[in-house]
Amino acid sequence: MTAHPRQPRIVLFGLGGTIAMAPVAGGGVAPALSPSDLVAAVPGLAESGIAVEVVDFRRLPGASLDFADVHALSVAVDGAFAAGADGVVVAQGTDTLEETAYLLDLWHAGPRPVVVTGAMRNPTAAGHDGPANLLAALRVAADPGVAGLGVLVVLADEIHPARRVRKTHSTSVGAFTSPNGGPLGYLVGGRPCVLHRPEGRFVLPRPADPPTARVGLVTVTLGDRGELLHGAEDRLDGLVVAGMGVGHVPERLVGRLHEIGGRIPVVLASRTGAGPVLTDTYAFPGSERDLLARGLVPAGFCDPVRARLLLCAALAAGADRATVAGAFAAAGGYTAPDSWPWA
């Protein structure tokens, strides 16, 4: 932890999600609370010395957030920094938290921290984790020691990089993990401790308008006959294939993927949840070598959901085929971070 020279000013954007839910007539919970309500529920915030300003940005479940919301949020985050904020916290639904965080990260060039958080237990539940997560996120955002790390995700006292974190459990309070590399650090007694820093930053130009590229994601499965791939090149601007293992598909899909890849960029990721797509090991029909020789782009360590966002953002930035390949080479870990196509 690094002390701030003066009282840190953090802007909190509330987007809804479980952290902001309240009971609904007829049963269940739905987004209802404002970010002021969230702040009021945090014990110890006054003593933390952090000045918090709130922006009631959206009150949506994570699943209903869209590219337009994240794009508008990214613009608003830049506005908060331009107005002098030391850091930003985003509180949102956990269902799409890793996607919001990654897209914000791709568009966040500056050194000041953006921290995304949420809750797994709603405010009516015993042991609601919202206040603890929010306080931890505010503390990280107020810590100059995290400058330059890009967008971070803080839940359950763990600090994760937006480029790697994933929701890997549907209900656990420890749902957020970084299967490739682990967390960057922890909150210990409320103090952020960063133990290691990822190399490089992968930032690309944010388009003036929200991305509109139609990028699909298809997971390949046992006995797959490729029904979801029919006409994909006519309906989509790009495709991510979540292949088996290190990037394999059944032989019968190879021709179809080759045809699609002749028209639109097709990125090959792994459906396993951790580890990279290989490039040079297996040599059977449908292997990674076969698919890459047919023009598919290997995603490296980028998981399928993240690969889809990177492809969307790259296309929105005007990337051609070679630039898309260069982006995945750097972000996927095949080449050095400084080979990233954008400055």
Active site residues: 18
100/270 with CB nearer ligand ASP: 100
Please choose, from the candidates 251, 256, 263, 265, the residue with its C-alpha nearest in 3D space to the C-alpha of residue 215.
Answer: 265
Q: Is residue 62 involved in binding ligand ASP (CB under 6 A)? A: yes
| Interacting residue with ligand ASP among 1, 9, 18, 247 (CB under 6 A) | 18
Q: Is residue 123 involved in binding ligand ASP (CB under 6 A)? A: no
Q: Is residue 17 involved in binding ligand ASP (CB under 6 A)? A: yes
What gap in Å lies between CA 291 and CA 268, rounded to an integer?
8
- Residue whose pair of structure tokens reads 């989509």 in the numeric block: 236
Q: Is residue 94 involved in binding ligand ASP (CB under 6 A)? A: yes
Q: Which stretch binds ligand ASP (CB under 6 A): 44-52, 57-65, 198-206, 250-258?
A: 57-65
Biggest CA-to-CA distance, the chain: 63
Q: Which stretch binds ligand ASP (CB under 6 A): 113-121, 151-159, 177-185, 187-195?
A: 113-121
119/241 with CB nearer ligand ASP: 119
Give residue number: closest CB to ligand ASP.
93
Return the DSSP state at 147: T
Spatial neighbors of 254 by CB under 8 A, at least 6 apart, are 285, 286, 290, 291, 294
Extract the tokens encoding 121. 């237990």
What gap in Å lies between CA 236 and CA 212, rounded to an integer?
11
Q: Is residue 118 involved in binding ligand ASP (CB under 6 A)? A: yes
Buried b / exposed e along 273-295 (16+ C-beta atoms within 10 A): eeebbbbeeeeeebbbbbbbebe
Distance of CA 203 to the CA centre of its chain: 13
119/217 with CB nearer ligand ASP: 119
Q: Which stretch binds ligand ASP (CB under 6 A): 87-95, 204-212, 232-240, 245-253?
A: 87-95
Least Å distance, CB 274 to ligand ASP, is 22
Residues that bind ligand ASP (CB under 6 A): 17-18, 61-63, 93-95, 118-120
